[in-house]
Structure 1
């Protein structure tokens, strides 16, 4: 009898937010969730922990774009609290300070959605948030989150209070992670559950979350060290990497990164490699004559070094005719600088972020990847599946694990723009038959990362994580009972 691709139970994917111009991690999370639904038939709920007030609109846009499908839903913490009572013993809200914001206070700003104030906030002189209050559709207070309470030692502590339908304190915590845990408890409600945490911010906030019957897995999407040789774990990941044993499994997208992380921890047994999956496009690729130009699909940030791609194409066009076009798809902090860099060059076009932009890979000849690091490189895989040849810097960790240099793509030394330009020239200058063979090899490589195969890898990893968690809890239970009896015997001897 064949084993089901995924174990039964409630499946959740946890992230901090869904940005409007979301990039690789969020795209990978949504794709995996669709794969779970299509390949294994399980429903997946994507949980977000941030407090933006327009998630109904976000979900609608994602459905229109095909990012959410039937059986894959989006649920935000604060939206849920507005319409559901949080289980728990009444009256515990009095444990922490409770002082709701006053709408008539000139320092308080309200944020509306569809004509209703759903959030008010008070900021300090430097723009830092001191308090945020969240409201239901009927105007009653649902959460009051103070962040300006004095604590000995100079830092500020927090008071997070959830209110009942009358706006009175119901439950409270001194850290926001307590609210996150209580919410997930309410969603799971004692059933078997699988919690896959993609965001590193969410992973830090849920680091201590442990419940019987719930398997907790963290996916590391980006590099955990900087590109400098011998560098330490980057600050944003140190807390999680110091406690990898807090998860039933930690998933890395490449074997290279998994092996590197294994050298940093004693908990190697829970480190797993599962690549990202892709939905393979139709097997009727366009003719070689129908392909033209280069493309970049990336967030416009310093990390992605899109200016390197522009410089490489300029160097290519200095020696080839007709000139090679470059279409860049993305948004980010470097957009204005890149617009100045392009300065009206007709062969360079900067488009805004569009989830449908991956469709241009079927018509493009070359994809350029110039990041300082790539946890995996989903765009590389999508390009290969479409027969678009990737030319990438060989940075940690994804490009070198996916691309076979000269066979199905090109790898060049990190940061070497001249080598990048030479690699692009070599692709477009080779005979059509050789280039077609390279495209076929790229499609064959991409087929090894099909959603079906990757979903089954996930099923295997989740089942092993559950067995590991059960074994650990058994050991912890035995240890606890042994310690308890030791204390009893000690008291008796006295």
Structure 2
């Protein structure tokens, strides 16, 4: 399996080593990069590129006399960058092969030199002279994908919303394309299903039929998409999965006072609600409660200020990043999810798998697809800190036998998201996507 990336980096071999060291790049998984491999293409491959139609502008590399910055690695010139007068805004990037020949020239001030506007991307042959030019970067990406695939029958699973934009244009008879939608497609604060689309999702969602399959993580998100976009036949649901730990007694060993949250410290996660809910629960129920928040992010200072202001310094800790943070669920009684929106809420499954009770805002999308309220966790109205606090108090004051039963129910629910079950769903949907594609090809041939 190949993981394809399009972002420039000085040394992908170093990135590969780091991923191998952390166990993320395993045997059989290959990390490949556009800029690495463009420099290795043969003359035949380069000559197979198709120039754009009605291209505006003339090719010009950064001149030796022009003010620019050379990026050198191992005494080899990798890139030459020309900046605007502010020395920050990039106006042109020239990429070079290891032999010093010009590989790609990407000019971004085509309309008026010195000011961003108008783009000309030029692919050069082994001699450094142009073989194809386009007024967008996307055709270069698609050309490389053709080089990667060649004539092989392939599946491409696109899980980046930015990559999905240009993948709407990649239609090949031998390639099945599947777009995995990781998060909500709605604008922040929009009410589904008919609210405003996220600007970063709009282009793709107006072209969902450009993929052989569009994969959502939850039934609720697919349901909303069906309502707005007319039940697209290529839409399906495959949740995220987790390799679940085997714990003999997951209903035992939980500190009844302790809550653990794993989250980035960002505004979207609304961790101030989690902190305030603990404060309210302590006061209203006259209970001893503790909360440990694991994660990093820009909201750390404001959260610490809130903790201090509410007098929770002895009860709430910002524990920072920990590679073993997920193990903390094993001893915690509960976790909270207070996000504005989610793609699925995988952290809830991780907590439930070891008997840690989830208390989550009912936000789009995910929590309601995972939690049966009052059975294996609690769903509360989104944004209501008081309701979150009430759920914490309810859990804290439940009979021990009822809590143990809820923990076992949580574990049972988590097992439905195990790796084996989800792999089976991927297999089924990949076959279905191929069947849809083949039917479309045959229908197209009939109408020719």
TM-score by length of 1: 0.80
Which residue of structure 2 aligns with residue 66 of structure 1?
23
Once the two structures are TM-superposed, the CA of residue 425 in structure 1 deviates from its matched residue by 2.3
CA distance, structure 1, for counterparts of residue 260 and residue 58 of structure 2? 54
CA distance, structure 2, for counterparts of residue 142 and residue 351 of structure 1? 47
Native 8 Å contact 1:394 1:413 kept in 2: yes
Distance 1:355 1:239, change over 3 A: farther
Alignment of 1:217-236 (within 5 A): 217-226=178-187, 227-229=189-191, 230-236=194-200
Query: 2:178 is paired with a residue of what secondary structure?
Result: strand
Alignment of 1:179-198 (within 5 A): 179-198=140-159
Which residue of structure 1 aligns with residue 277 of structure 2?
312
Which residue of structure 1 aligns with residue 47 of structure 2?
89
Distance 1:386 1:112, change over 3 A: farther
Alignment of 1:382-461 (within 5 A): 382-461=350-429
Distance 1:93 1:264, change over 3 A: closer
**Structure 2 residue 7 is matched with structure 1 residue 47:** no
Query: 2:223 is paired with a residue of what secondary structure?
Result: helix
CA distance, structure 2, for counterparts of residue 255 and residue 239 of structure 1? 22
**Structure 2 residue 431 is matched with structure 1 residue 466:** no
Once the two structures are TM-superposed, the CA of residue 373 in structure 1 deviates from its matched residue by 1.0
Which residue of structure 1 aligns with residue 298 of structure 2?
333
Once the two structures are TM-superposed, the CA of residue 191 in structure 1 deviates from its matched residue by 0.6
**Structure 2 residue 307 is matched with structure 1 residue 371:** no
Once the two structures are TM-superposed, the CA of residue 53 in structure 1 deviates from its matched residue by 2.8
CA distance, structure 1, for counterparts of residue 301 and residue 80 of structure 2? 32
**Structure 2 residue 95 is matched with structure 1 residue 134:** yes
Could you tell which deviates more after superposition, 348-357 or 186-195?
348-357
Which residue of structure 1 aligns with residue 444 of structure 2?
476
Query: 1:365 is paired with a residue of what secondary structure?
Result: strand
Which residue of structure 2 aligns with residue 175 of structure 1?
136
Query: 1:157 is paired with a residue of what secondary structure?
Result: coil
Which residue of structure 2 aligns with residue 206 of structure 1?
167
CA distance, structure 2, for counterparts of residue 103 and residue 331 of structure 1? 44
CA distance, structure 2, for counterparts of residue 370 and residue 471 of structure 1? 44
Native 8 Å contact 2:105 2:122 kept in 1: yes
Once the two structures are TM-superposed, the CA of residue 257 in structure 1 deviates from its matched residue by 0.9
Distance 1:350 1:172, change over 3 A: farther
Query: Which residue of 246, 270, 278 corresponds with 1:282?
Result: 246
Could you tell which deviates more after superposition, 197-206 or 118-127?
118-127
CA distance, structure 2, for counterparts of residue 179 and residue 409 of structure 1? 49
Distance 1:395 1:290, change over 3 A: closer
Distance 1:405 1:110, change over 3 A: farther
Once the two structures are TM-superposed, the CA of residue 209 in structure 1 deviates from its matched residue by 0.3
Deviations 1:79-135 (A, max 9, x none): 2224444823179779763333357744x3444556755334333356443222333
Could you tell which deviates more after superposition, 311-320 or 175-184?
311-320
Native 8 Å contact 2:329 2:356 kept in 1: yes
**Structure 2 residue 210 is matched with structure 1 residue 246:** yes
Once the two structures are TM-superposed, the CA of residue 329 in structure 1 deviates from its matched residue by 2.6
Structure 1 portions without partners, runs of 5+: 1-43, 482-494
Query: 1:475 is paired with a residue of what secondary structure?
Result: helix
Structure 2 portions without partners, runs of 5+: none
Could you tell which deviates more after superposition, 441-450 or 166-175?
166-175
Native 8 Å contact 2:186 2:195 kept in 1: yes
Q: What is the root-mean-square deviation in Å for CA atoms of aligned residues?
A: 2.9
Query: 1:182 is paired with a residue of what secondary structure?
Result: helix
**Comparing both chains, which one has the higher relative contact order based on Cα–Cα distances under 8 Å and sequence gaps of 6 or more?**
1
Deviations 1:182-225 (A, max 9, x none): 11111111111000111111000211101111100111111112
Aligned pairs, how many? 434
Query: 1:181 is paired with a residue of what secondary structure?
Result: helix
Native 8 Å contact 2:46 2:125 kept in 1: no
CA distance, structure 2, for counterparts of residue 210 and residue 403 of structure 1? 38
Distance 1:163 1:460, change over 3 A: same
Native 8 Å contact 1:288 1:432 kept in 2: no
Distance 1:80 1:474, change over 3 A: same
Once the two structures are TM-superposed, the CA of residue 418 in structure 1 deviates from its matched residue by 1.3
CA distance, structure 1, for counterparts of residue 391 and residue 411 of structure 2? 19
Distance 1:322 1:72, change over 3 A: farther
Distance 1:309 1:208, change over 3 A: same
Deviations 1:291-332 (A, max 9, x none): 462222222222111221122122233356774332223333
